[in-house]
Structure 1
Amino acid sequence: MLHYPELAMPRSRTVTTVCNGRREVWNDYEEAKACFLEMMMTTDGEERDRAECVFIQLIHGLSECSDEDE
């Protein structure tokens, strides 16, 4: 367990996403969330699942979000 919960830490405005092998650095957190929400709503199947995985991580405030299993 982290000494300080990650959700209590201040969010940086920069976020890195990896979706379907494509790495992207965003300067605006809200823009990244909007992009992945739109992707979730306009796709289906595996692509939708990948976007949903990244979107959920964005909602939780992570600075690096990926659709890959670690």
Structure 2
Amino acid sequence: MLAIPELAMPRSSKVTTVCNGKREIWTDYEEAKAYFLELMMTTEGEEHERAECVYIQLTHGLSECSDE
């Protein structure tokens, strides 16, 4: 077990996302969150679910987020 829980560690500003087979490296964590929130709100069906999966991982502070 980690001495410091992963979610309590300082968040890096760099994040990698994989959504619908497209891999992107973001240098701004908040920009990635805003993008996936907007994508989630403007799509339906499977595309909505993929964006939601990545967004939830982003809100938990993960440095690599995927829709799988």
In the alignment, what sits opposite 2:64?
A: 64
Q: Tell me whether 23-32 or 2-11 shows the greater mean CA deviation.
A: 2-11
The answer to whether the aligner puts 1:13 opposite 2:13 as a matched pair is: yes
Unaligned regions of 5+ residues in structure 1, if any? none
Deviation at 1:29, TM superposition (A): 0.4
* 1:6-64 deviation per Cα after TM superposition (whole angstroms, max 9, x unaligned): 10111110000000000000000000000000000100000000000000000000000
Query: Is 1:39 aligned to residue 39 of structure 2?
Result: yes
In the comparison of the two structures, how many residue pairs are matched?
A: 67
For 2:24, the aligned partner's letter is E
1:48 paired residue number = 48
TM-score scaled to structure 2, two decimals?
0.95
TM-score normalised by the chain length of structure 1: 0.92
**What letter matches 1:54 in structure 2?**
V
RMSD: 0.7
Give, in whole Å, the separation in 2 of the partners of 1:45 and 1:15. Answer: 25
Structure 2 unaligned residues grouped into runs of 5+: none
Identity of aligned residues (%): 78
- Flag as ranges the 4+ runs of structure 1 deviating above 2 A: none
